[in-house]
Amino acid sequence: MTPHLEYLLRIGDSTLILGQRLSEWCGHAPVLEEDIALANVALDLIGQSRLVLTHASTIEGAGRDEDQLAFLRTEGQFRNVTLVELPNGDFGRTVLRSFLFSTFLRELWTGLAASADSGLAAIAAKSVKESRYHVQHAGEWVIRLGDGTDESHARMQRAVDDLWPYTAELFAPTPVDDMVHAAGVGVKWTELRSAWDATVLPVLEEATLKAPEGSAFVSRGKLGMHSEHMGHLLTEMQYLQRTYPGATW
Amino acid sequence: MLTEAEAWQVLRTVPDPEIPVISVCELGIVRAIRATDDALTVVVTPTYSGCPATEVIAASIRTALGEAGAATVSVETQLSPAWTTDWIEADAAARLRAYGIVPPNRTAETAVQTIRLVPRAIACPRCDSRKTTRLAAFGSTACKALWRCEDCMEPFEEFKPL
């Protein structure tokens, strides 16, 4: 796989898998308005993923379209970050994860809008506008729940403690980043950290939540090494295409 | 065969499937029409990446132009420059309001988005009261937010600037 394709899959797969996770809330959210909101955010993410995977399939040139990339690859061939494949947990944990990842995505799209890959630049310029609304929506909930009741605060702090270690992967340097950056195609994810901190840290503070101390743990989903949750997620997401290969409607 | 000008006239009668009071042209998503001797190509830009209406819009465009006499119609998607609510025509904005949807502010006025619990109040499209509350950041579709007027007690939607 070329670094260019690898890089596109990291983005296309991360948006796809978070879209899949958020879709699980459809019909289950605490209130109707948030049910609709999460489904709308999921639609945006899956829409962004479709654009990126379609572009990736063109770059790959192997005749695999977006659906084949999404539904017929196995766990080890997915390049999403581990953070997005973790189970939703409760509503608070879900919006916290959304906030952490959407903020990252907003900075990534901002950087990629200047990519030498014009197809990717067009997707990025469009998607960044959607990500801004996702950050705003999730960020508001993080503040409301973190600085809320004793129960909501305690749950949000546990969610921060559990999810925070997985954010290290977002910024972990890889040779793929260096190569796409040298080609003018991509931005190095490690360089997005300061912009991400500038949004995330003040919101956590306003939410009266504390980020845990850094640890040596770095998840490796973007390298194709996933958590135990990924296989189960794919089992559900890919069921139809696995059972009826090539089915369309 | 239809000329480009005739095709534009036809598309001005094709409503947006989610907001039928405005046409796809007024929404600003039809970017170009190219006519050759035997085919029409309509260039459309999507609103939101995940907008479920995108495929319905393409089908409506093909049907309308087909019924108007075009033999071959293809709909092309163009991502860049990205669609913005600033492209919604001014007349259409007034009709949106009459339909109960507050039209979007210009994006330049909302470029800096802060995370805050209480968004700026907007006026109710029915009674003009500014005593309004935002109920949800996303409405029936991603492009809208859901509000309630505290004076006339009616719910309404806001087309969010994008």
Read off the pLDDT band of B33 (50, 70, 90).
Answer: very high
Chain A CB contacts of B43 under 8 Å are none
Tell me: do B126 and B142 sit in the same domain. yes
Could you tell me if residue A66 is inside a domain? yes
CATH of the domain at B62: 3.30.300.130
Residues B82-95 pLDDT 10s: 999 999 999 999 99
Residues B98-120 pLDDT 10s: 999 999 988 876 555 567 656 67
Domain boundary, last residue among B24, B51, B83? B83
Could you tell me if residue A248 is inside a domain? no
Could you tell me if residue A116 is inside a domain? yes
Q: What is the count of structural domains for chain B?
A: 2
| A36, A46, A143: residue with CB nearest B50 | A46
Could you tell me if residue A249 is inside a domain? no
Alpha-carbon distance of B141 to A197, in angstroms, equals 30
Domain boundary, last residue among B83, B101, B117? B83
CB contact under 8 A, A47 and B136: no
Q: What is the count of structural domains for chain A?
A: 1
CATH of the domain at A85: 1.20.1260.10
Tell me: do B76 and B8 sit in the same domain. yes
CB contact under 8 A, B52 and A43: yes
> What value of ipTM does the predicted structure carry?
0.89
pLDDT, residue B111, reads: 55
Could you tell me if residue A142 is inside a domain? yes
Domain boundary, last residue among B54, B83, B112? B83
Strands laid side by side in the B132-136 sheet: B101-102, B155-159, B144-149, B132-136
Cα–Cα distances (Å) from A136 to A73, A133, A159, A199, in that order, read 33, 5, 19, 10
| B49, B84, B137: residue with CB nearest A44 | B49
pLDDT, residue B114, reads: 64
Whether the predicted pLDDT of A247 surpasses 90: no
Q: Which domain holds residue A237?
A: 3-243
Global pTM reads 0.94
Tell me: do B67 and B10 sit in the same domain. yes
Read off the pLDDT band of B121 (50, 70, 90).
Answer: confident
Q: Identify the three-state secondary structure at position B75.
A: strand
Q: Which domain holds residue B11?
A: 4-83
Over residues A122-142, the mean pLDDT reads: 96
